[in-house]
Structure 1
Amino acid sequence: MQIHLELQARWDRLQSSLWFRPTLLSVAAAGLAVAMVATDQALELTSFPLLNAGADDARALLSSITSSMLTVTTVTFSIIMVALVLASQQFSPRIIRNFMRDSASQYVLGIFIGTFIYSLLVLGRISDTENRVFVPVVSTLVAILLTLASISTFIYFIHHIAEAIQANTIVARAGEKTVALLDKLFPEKIGRPASAIAAAEPELPATPGVPIAAAQAGYIQAIDPEALLRLAGEYDLLIRLEREIGDFVPQGNSLLRIWPEREFSATETQALQDVFEIGTERTLFDDILFGIRQLVDIALKAISPAVNDPSTALNAIDYLGNVLVQAAQRSDPELYRYDDQGRLRVIAQGVTFEQMVDGAFGPIRQYASGEVAVTLRLLKTLHEIAQATADPARAGVLWRHTQMIARGAVRGIPEPHDRQQINQAIRLLADQLGQLPGAALLPVDAAALAL
């Protein structure tokens, strides 16, 4: 992994850790304790407005703050763990990383641990001997202020965590993060597309090319676009990616193929392998299909017999629709990428609108063919997406999913009145897409409707 992308990936992992921000605040608290004690030593105050305490009083006060902050920190950790377990069981294990990235919870933990460390260090500097009495008055007053701030923070944290575990909040945040990835779809940052240089259809090599194998197994979390183009130019290569972001690659299987065919040194092979960031899990660093998968998992979990919460499923479908409406307003990424001299350097793998629609609607359609409310919401969402695109190919993708949803409803929804509602939604969607609805309409027992 090249240095700048490696730093970005490490920063992303740090943001997903519960220890990073608390550690920074703890170090800051330790530095503050040293600075405040030094201030007390310089000022040599024996009292301060609102605080006039001897050595025993200051020691008792700081001991009380230290023990109470340790208790509050333990309770806060317990609340966070309960929230993580609840989110995993109620919604999806794949959203745990979203919770761990919550900066508010990390800062709350940092404030509590920082107050504990500060009070503990100041407590250790109190001296009450025959030769010298030293009571850090200003430092003790700061400890009191930090404790008051911690109390306010704890109240905020309870409110924040109560909001954070609500289904609507979880779904909305997952949807927002997924939409944000649309602005950095791979491979848009690799060199220049064919449309930018008016390039003709390239003549591709007839030979199979030289495969570069993965050094480790895992999920492709990111691909460094700048390094990929630089290496292609430096070694005078044409590189075709065999995998896209989010794919799992077994160790030893091909990541990419290279032309012209020649022997590559270990250094060259390592440099090409380092273009890929491979980890044990998919992330939202660059993987938009994983964001869609999170919303799909929430919807599937909600309609499962164990949870039986169709309202959350409808909420997830609404945000999936928003992602796809935004995607429908953008062009699919161009896969042929050229350098500044107009030479084809990279043939990439990219996420298309069709892949997003398939990933969003396929699993839900398969598991919810007997759910009337979910089926109607899927059709309504397709109608919303259809309004955002005039592309005939994309309209064909949406109509294909309409027909599959209709066939599933034929098998799973026997009630004539429900079928009539579904047919109304299909007619509206067909009109929007410029299709004839006949083949997709569900058969309805007219006699049963008259009862």
Structure 2
Amino acid sequence: MKSYLYKIFKSLENLESKIAFYPAIISLVGLLFAFFMIFLESIGISKYLIEHAPILVVNNTETARSLLTTFIAGLISIMVFSFSLVMILLNQASSNFSPRVLPGLISNRRHQIILGIYNATLLYCIFTLVSITPHGDKYQMPGFSVLLAIIFMTLSLGAFIYFIHSISQEIQVNTIMDKIFKKSKYRLEKLVEAEKYIDTEFEDSSNWKCITANTTGYMQDVNLRPLANLAQEHNLKIEIVPIKGAYILKGIAVIKYKGEANKGMDEDEDLESKLLDTIVFSNNELIEDNYVLAFKQITEIALKAMSPGINDPGTCINAIDYITELFALRMTKKDHSFYFNENDEAIIHINTVSFEELLYNVMAALRTYCRHDIIVVQKLFIMFQYLLQQNNVLNENYKETIIKEVVNLKKDALDTHNNERDIELINSYITKLENVNPSEYTFEV
């Protein structure tokens, strides 16, 4: 039951990231409020206010109609302009930065709320205008509702001014990278805090029973608590085979388990179905669930900035600054993740991207597309120098991995650059790294 609730929760999280989610909710509120005001007008709220507070009522039919008609036309224009700006933002972000950053921009809650305010005010004005109907030889005049329409329109104009300010900030690459960085840093810090620093060896799972995926999609998350309950209830040891964020094809093994023999095939199938229900599949990748995606996105922004069509090494250097801090934080986390029971016994092994693989994937791309720029190469050497100086490194093998990438960068840089001054600069940074690096390592190619 808990796994189903967790899946529903994750589905709602995915729905919340859609650009139409908050506008639809707020529009519905505006529509319901319009009907509520029509009901209040039918029982005479405007008549009561005319007698006791006439300043709160618009009591001229032509004025009310003109105001509401103008508001409706103006709001439609504002909405078209605002949606056009959003589309321009998404198109520019996709072209200049990376298509992977689009989900983060689309899920911007402030923009969704502003668009919802526009639509709610528009619906309210439309239904308030419709409620001005002939009543005998006079018109039923919803004077108080018209005053509220003026207030809502003023609020919409304020939201529009804020929207222009916000969209001008959101389209800047530094703002995009900073948001990606903060989300991934928060996720990494949570993972580091949750880790138990217990040295453990997990059993070889090559001969364990396999559970294959019954659908395709990204493995978004694992609901560990129900999975751990199943493991303890049936005395199981479990391994999550794919790395979180990997694209899973139908029929690929996702869970391996070992435990007591069950009484029959039906019970085995029921248990396997429950275990598989703890895996959440999705067609979206979210940094909130997978910090590795942040490395991919920031690296792709750096590579796009170095493309001939954009040629913006400054953005690439800024991206390397963010990557440097994320790598420094990643060095405080273990390569293997386990879930421990109350007796501190590892019962679930979760495969994760190792530090070596993560660093290689980032550096392989940067070396390939940025090695021709000596300033970027210099920045990469500074990044390695900073990482080697970290004292809170959880695993000393991480520094060996960094040394390997320094050697790879040195080889590519020397092969690319023939200018004596550039070669001198490269060698000077190698000398600095040798002074930082323990003596047992070598930077020879």
Closer, same or farther in 2 for the Cα pair 1:218/1:316, shift >3 Å? same
Closer, same or farther in 2 for the Cα pair 1:435/1:155, shift >3 Å? farther
Query: Counterpart of 1:113 in structure 2: which amino acid?
Result: N
Residue 297 of structure 1 and its aligned partner are, at CA, apart by 0.7
Local SS of the residue matching 2:399: helix
Residue 77 of structure 1 and its aligned partner are, at CA, apart by 0.9
Structure 1 contact 184–286 (Cα < 8 Å) conserved: no
**More deviation, 52-61/287-296:** 52-61
**Paired-residue identity, %:** 24
Residue 193 of structure 1 and its aligned partner are, at CA, apart by 4.8
Local SS of the residue matching 2:220: strand
**Aligned residue in 2 for 1:349:** 351
Listed one character per residue, the Cα deviations across residues 350-406 of structure 1 (whole Å, up to 9, x for unaligned) are 344334323332311222221211111111112222222364322212111111111
Structure 1 contact 369–411 (Cα < 8 Å) conserved: no
**Aligned residue in 2 for 1:119:** 125
| Structure 1 counterpart of 2:296, from 275, 280, 293 | 293
Closer, same or farther in 2 for the Cα pair 1:235/1:77, shift >3 Å? same
Residue 9 of structure 1 and its aligned partner are, at CA, apart by 1.6
| Structure 2 counterpart of 1:403, from 386, 407, 428 | 407
| Structure 1 counterpart of 2:281, from 275, 278, 281 | 278
**Aligned residue in 2 for 1:424:** 428
Residue 6 of structure 1 and its aligned partner are, at CA, apart by 1.7
**CA distance in 2: counterparts of 1:393 and 1:171, whole angstroms:** 29
Listed one character per residue, the Cα deviations across residues 109-154 of structure 1 (whole Å, up to 9, x for unaligned) are 0111111011111111112332553211111111111111111211
Local SS of the residue matching 1:2: helix
Structure 2 contact 121–149 (Cα < 8 Å) conserved: yes
Structure 1 contact 12–285 (Cα < 8 Å) conserved: no
Matches within 5 A, 1:48-67: 48-49=54-55, 52-67=58-73
If the length of structure 1 is used for normalisation, what is the TM-score? Answer: 0.89
**CA distance in 2: counterparts of 1:48 and 1:432, whole angstroms:** 79
Query: Counterpart of 1:222 in structure 2: which amino acid?
Result: D
Matches within 5 A, 1:28-427: 28-40=29-41, 41-44=44-47, 45-46=49-50, 48-49=54-55, 52-130=58-136, 133-185=139-191, 193=196, 195=198, 201=201, 204=203, 208-260=207-259, 263=265, 265-328=268-331, 330-332=332-334, 334-389=336-391, 391=393, 392-427=396-431
**More deviation, 278-287/311-320:** 278-287
Closer, same or farther in 2 for the Cα pair 1:252/1:367, shift >3 Å? same
**Aligned residue in 2 for 1:446:** none
**Where does structure 1 lack aligned partners over 5 or more consecutive residues?**
442-451
Structure 1 contact 209–257 (Cα < 8 Å) conserved: yes
Structure 1 contact 302–310 (Cα < 8 Å) conserved: yes
**CA distance in 2: counterparts of 1:408 and 1:82, whole angstroms:** 38
Listed one character per residue, the Cα deviations across residues 66-90 of structure 1 (whole Å, up to 9, x for unaligned) are 1211121121111101110110010
**CA distance in 1: counterparts of 2:200 and 2:324, whole angstroms:** 36
Local SS of the residue matching 2:218: strand
Residue 105 of structure 1 and its aligned partner are, at CA, apart by 0.8
Residue 25 of structure 1 and its aligned partner are, at CA, apart by 1.3
Residue 411 of structure 1 and its aligned partner are, at CA, apart by 1.6
If the length of structure 2 is used for normalisation, what is the TM-score? Answer: 0.90
**CA distance in 2: counterparts of 1:323 and 1:207, whole angstroms:** 33
Structure 2 contact 220–245 (Cα < 8 Å) conserved: yes
